[in-house]
Amino acid sequence: QVQLQESGPGLLKPSETLYLTCTLSGHSITSDYYWGWVRQPPGRGLEWIGTIYHSGTTYYNPSLRSRVTISIDASKKKFSLALTSSTAADTAVYYCAREKGTNMLTRAIDQWGQGTLVTVSS
């Protein structure tokens, strides 16, 4: 059974870097899936942040590209998110996720972590 678990600080100050890690269990991180991050501000909709393939190839939301880095440690079955220069607008529930798809166009998120609330506040 595939399980994804987010971990990281729940509170940070403006301008700090947000770091989150997702630990995968019950599945191989080097299988033919993509691994990504999605966030949801309180009371609002879903926003895709970015995705990584086990080869290290990354894809980022154009609106966040300048501040986002997603990395993967296949040996530890973990992938991570770093978001620099945080502001209150980055306050959200952050989900790590598994994306399936035979090509770029068919990607869909078929497994989600439970989500972790990150608050940016002074």
Cα–Cα distance measured from residue 70 to residue 78, given in angstroms and rounded to the nearest whole number? 11
Determine if 101 is a binding residue for another protein (CB under 8 A).
Answer: yes
All residues at 6 or more sequence positions from 5 whose CB lies less than 8 Å from its CB, including other chains: 22, 23, 25, 96, 113, 114
Stretch that binds another protein, among 23-31, 38-46, 67-75, 82-90 (CB under 8 A): 38-46
Determine if 112 is a binding residue for another protein (CB under 8 A).
Answer: yes
**Residue 50 bridge partners (DSSP):** 37, 60
Distances (CA, A) of 24 to 28, 31, 92: 8, 12, 21
Task: State which of residues 51, 80, 86, 91 lies at the interface with another protein (CB under 8 A).
Answer: 51
Stretch that binds another protein, among 12-20, 21-29, 82-90, 97-105 (CB under 8 A): 97-105
**Minimum distance from CB of 20 to another protein (Å)?**
15
Cα–Cα distance measured from residue 51 to residue 57, given in angstroms and rounded to the nearest whole number? 8
Determine if 36 is a binding residue for another protein (CB under 8 A).
Answer: yes
Question: By the criterion CB under 8 A, which residues form the site for another protein?
Answer: 36, 38, 45-48, 51, 59, 61-62, 95, 99-101, 103-110, 112-115
